[in-house]
Homo-oligomer: A and B are copies of this chain.
Amino acid sequence: MREMTIPESGSKRKLLDAAEQLFAEKGFEAVSVRDITQLAKTNVASVNYHFGSRDGLLALVMMRYMTPVTEERLARIDSLERKWSGKSAPLEEIIDALVRPLVGQVRKSELAERLFYKLTGRICAEQGDGLPPQIEDQFRQTGERFSRAFAKALPTVPPEELAWRIHFVIGAMIHMLTHQEILHRVSGGVSGAPTMEATMSRFIRFAAAGLREGTATEEPVKKGPQATFDF
């Protein structure tokens, strides 16, 4: 007796692995099903057999990466709100809860580290065009939770202003993930290659400073409309 009632062939996993590697390297549009099946050493028809279509495979690759990220993000923000019940959590911890799950999933993946970051960055950057509705739902959910947390941590920033600052933070985050190779040549530090932990720490300090710009002596403002970002 197998543990799965649905027959699982090796091809399905091979295709997913090959696809995510190629998507990370060249982008979603630049990879054909023939590229994928060639790397996976399967037949061209296998993609359509296992996933229905190329888009079906693409959606599954995205889901396999973003779902645990979203879950960890929501779990961390839950944990923060429990820990700081009533009061607002420190800004740095909120940003940490937003970014760390993105880079924390790398160890659970067989993909090379830099490719993992590229892939997650590409997913976040896609946005609105051809994202699967499940991914969009995750982004919307994440966006609402973190927007509220940011608003609570920065009560003196007007909602409209805060929305733009969060927008800038997201842009910086995506760029950090997708284009790190630009800086990892230069940023060698004292001992070899810099860790992602160090980069993330830099990012959190940068984002926190930008988010709380000029909030030293102002008064709280009342609530306003809310935006959805591509987290």
Q: In the bound complex, do residue B187 and residue A160 qualify as a contact, i.e. CB atoms below 8 Å apart?
A: yes
Q: In the bound complex, do residue B205 and residue A213 qualify as a contact, i.e. CB atoms below 8 Å apart?
A: yes
State the Cβ distance, A4 to closest chain B Cβ, in Å.
38
Chain A interface SS verdict (over half): helix
Q: How many copies does the complex hold?
A: 2
Number of interface residues of A (CB under 8 A): 47
Please name all residues of chain B whose beta carbon is closer than 8 Å to the beta carbon of A172 when the two chains form the complex.
Answer: 167-169, 171-172, 175, 210
A residues 174-221 touching B (CB-CB < 8 Å): 174-176, 179, 182-183, 185-189, 194, 199, 202-203, 205-214
Closest to A169 in B: B172
Q: Which 7 A-B pairs have the closest CB atoms?
A: A171-B175, A209-B213, A210-B210, A168-B172, A186-B227, A171-B172, A206-B210
Bound-state CA distance A30–B30 (Å) is: 11
